[in-house]
Amino acid sequence: MATVELRNLRKTYLHEEIIKGVSLAIAEREFIVFVGPSGCGKSTLLRMIAGLEDISAGDLLIDGQRVNDTEPARRGVAMVFQSYALYPHMNVYRNMEFSLRLAGMPEAERRQRIGDVARILQLDPYLDHKPGQLSGGQRQRVAIGRAIVRNPRVFLFDEPLSNLDAALRGQMRVELASLHRRLDATTIYVTHDQVEAMTMADRIVVLDKGVVEQIGTPLELYHRPRNLFVARFMGSPPMNLLPATINAHDPDGTMQVRTETLSVSIPTQQGGLEVGAPATLGIRPEHIRIDPQGAVQGMVEVSERLGAVTLLHVRLPDGQMIVVQTGGDNTDSADTPICMTFEEEHCHLFDADGMALARSTDHPLLAGA
């Protein structure tokens, strides 16, 4: 298994810079997920690592060796494509054998290897089937098998689950995670689905417009978004964001913040923010409590009952809409006035440039991170 290092990677296409200097060090056996909205450059970045796109500037190192100009097959990377990209004219066995045959591996060894991989992926019964005869999930497995047989140093996945239906996607997500544990392979995985990113990644790289917005563990990103973009992108339903003003900063390390309708003390450091400066208050839907004594009033507009939880879309007196996550047994329906409490220790504060202010206290799950 290998380390991968990106040093200020850039990609220019027709005078337009799509990747604007990405640097990242990936450790051995790490599962890295590139996530971001469509057009953020995550797939391009993956294809640059694969060798399918030229690198305009910067260095790409695999196991410490610069591979910018190395042929894809010689980089020791294997890729699973979004469309699977199986060879339709070859059966499953031949699909997996293709790279081994091109590499000149003896027949007996090929047979042995493909047999092993087919067993892991439960593909034994389908070895002589053509891809067209397989279901979506099976094709996905063949695509993974084709990558595994090569025994690559790095696995690259380009939105591999986006063609599957929701149930199968959930199942394959678990299978991929356990496969990663079993193979102990360095993996780079591209997705636009933040659930995949949160559940599988050791570290997530959030990209937007060719720039890294934040790199961190899933919980770091969730609880300590570095800026408004990450705060909006991670979490479903997304974080509530309200325009606010700094009211005061207390010497004990909290900021008094006021919006049109509420006032909270947030345990963040002052940063450069003076009293009266504009800011953005962020709070996740699960950190707003329904509380008859709560200081924040609102009117329920829509109640989405998901079973385990209920999402209340609440209009504040100043017209702002927020989402509140409550228990599945909540009975508030539309047009019900409610009172709420914002859990201050879970509030986020962003300055006018959208950058988060550093916390004075740490999230218990992130202690030591």
Partner 1 sequence: MARTSTRLRHAAITVLAWGIALWMFFPILWMFLTGFKSEPDALSTPPHFLFHPTLSSYQDVFARENYWHFATNSVVISVMATLVALLVSIPAAYAMAFLPGPRTRMTLLWMLSTRMLPSVGVLVPIYLLARATGLLDSRTGLIVIYMLTNLPITVWMLYTFFREVPVAILEAGRMDGATRWQEVTQVLMPLALPGIASTGLLSLILCWNETFWSLNLTSSIAAPLTTFIASFSSPEGLFFAKLSAASTLAVAPIMVFGWVSQKQLVRGLTFGAVK
Amino acid code (one letter) for 181: R
Q: How far apart are CA 122 and CA 142, in angstroms?
A: 10
Closest CB 52 distance from partner 1, rounded Å: 5
Amino acid code (one letter) for 17: E
> Which is closer to partner 1, CB of 159 or CB of 220?
159
Which residues, other chains included, contact 364 with Cβ-Cβ below 8 Å and sequence gap of 6+? none
> Which is closer to partner 1, CB of 142 or CB of 179?
142
Burial class of 124 by CB neighbour count within 10 A (0 to 12, 13 to 18, 19+): exposed
In the stretch 50-69, what mask flags binding to partner 1 with x, by CB under 8 A? xxx-----------------
> Which is closer to partner 1, CB of 27 or CB of 52?
52
> Which is closer to partner 1, CB of 76 or CB of 137?
76
Token duo for residue 220: 């770091």
Closest CB 368 distance from partner 1, rounded Å: 39
Q: Is 146 in the site for partner 1 (CB under 8 A)?
A: yes
> Which is closer to partner 1, CB of 74 or CB of 364?
74
H-helix segments, 80-161? 92-102, 107-120, 136-148
> Which is closer to partner 1, CB of 131 or CB of 285?
131
The CA–CA distances, whole Å, from 220 to 32, 67, 240 equal 14, 31, 18
Of 142, 116, 140, the C-alpha closest to 128 is: 142
Q: Pick the binder of partner 1 from 70, 99, 163, 247 (CB under 8 A).
A: 99
In the stretch 33-52, what mask flags binding to partner 1 with x, by CB under 8 A? -----------------xxx
Sheet holding 240-250, edge to edge: 263-266, 254-258, 240-250, 278-283, 348-350
Amino acid code (one letter) for 15: H
Q: Pick the binder of partner 1 from 27, 28, 81, 136 (CB under 8 A).
A: 81
How many chain residues bind partner 1 (CB under 8 A)?
24
Q: Which stretch binds partner 1 (CB under 8 A): 71-79, 112-120, 269-277, 308-316?
A: 71-79
Q: Pick the binder of partner 1 from 58, 72, 170, 294 (CB under 8 A).
A: 72
> Which is closer to partner 1, CB of 83 or CB of 122?
83
Q: How far apart are CA 226 and CA 281, in angstroms?
A: 14
> Which is closer to partner 1, CB of 74 or CB of 182?
74
Q: Pick the binder of partner 1 from 8, 65, 83, 171 (CB under 8 A).
A: 83
> Is residue 139 within 8 Å of residue 131, measured between CB atoms?
yes
Q: How far apart are CA 331 and CA 322, in angstroms?
A: 18
Token duo for residue 155: 């696995």
Q: How far apart are CA 166 and CA 39, in angstroms?
A: 23
Closest CB 365 distance from partner 1, rounded Å: 38
The footprint of partner 1 on residues 325-344 (CB under 8 A) is none
Q: Which residues bind partner 1 (CB under 8 A)?
A: 50-52, 71-74, 77-79, 81-83, 85-89, 98-99, 102-103, 146, 150
